[in-house]
Structure 1
Amino acid sequence: VLVASFAHFCSFDRCNSASSSSVLLNALPRPADPAPGHLQCPTCVTVFGSCPQNSDIVTCPNGTSHCYNGHIAIRGGGISSSMNIQGCVAKPSSFLLNHTQNIGVFTVMENRNQGDERGEDWNNPIIQAGAAPVSAPFLAWVVGLGLSLALWGGAPSLPVLYWSGPCPHWTS
């Protein structure tokens, strides 16, 4: 998961003609798909709710060792939003926001759910013998927060969710 912000500064009024978050998304590099590993985890991004107990299972990229399950709350700049996120991480103590509490005008809070540090023991993310394997080659989320994207007319920035892989689960 990558958290990014974009700012465009100029020397005259109303020079930012961005009308969508594509300015941010198009600026992000597109890394090559990593080789699949052996760990399988539930995956989900749900805005204003919780992921279902039967979230889609994907094969994690090589180099990941644990499943992540947590909530991120974003407040400030006229926005109040929360997301439940499930997926693969490289370290058992991984926090997606690395304990960051402020990003520009936004206050962010990340709470990990119990069990997300135990890797393959977490809610049985490894497919049991005899179960059909999941064909998803890898999971790569890009959660972009267009925090400084000033739209013409001074509209506040909105959180943007973007997948660079298959969309495992989405509800709002």
Structure 2
Amino acid sequence: MNELGKILDIETAPNLKRFKKGEFIQQPKQLKANAIYIKKGLTRSYIIDSTGKEHIYMFASEGWITGDIEAVEFNEPTTLYIDCLENSEVIVLKKDYPKEADLSKDKLLQNMKKMSRNLGKMQRRILMLIGSPAVDRYNYFLETYPELPNRVPQKMIASYLGIMPQTLSTIRSKIAKGK
């Protein structure tokens, strides 16, 4: 079990669910949303724009928490698709999970620190999407998700980076030649 699982006391969570590769955990317009802790496997969260193009918001592998934050926090219909890229075991964390789990003050503070770190990573990603070259975004992807290049198709990584797959191919080739 990783650090976040220990902090959240995940081993005591009763809401373990198993999904097969390709199955949806969430689709847009659902009225009930929850945070999802990835115990095993790999998921992606994404939207599809009006032209049918997919835009990946995030990947979540073992130890990550994913979900439609706005839907969870404000009881709004979901906007994100969340599907499994591998067979996955997830724990559904209802909004009031910390209260139900009766976490200690120390565990709550550790949770807050971890969540703040994740928000910081998201902020950095958004700022990079706004104003950083694709090669810098790819390097940040590798730093954030070091295990994913071998688990995720290149076209999905390109979608996450906001670039064409051909551009990613060129970047990867230049990086390989530079080593």
- TM-score, normalized by the shorter chain, greater than 0.5: no
Bigger proportion of residues as strand:
1
**Higher-helix-fraction structure:** 2
TM-score (norm: length of structure 1):
0.28
> TM-score when scaled to structure 2?
0.28
Higher relative contact order (CA 8 A, sep 6+): 1
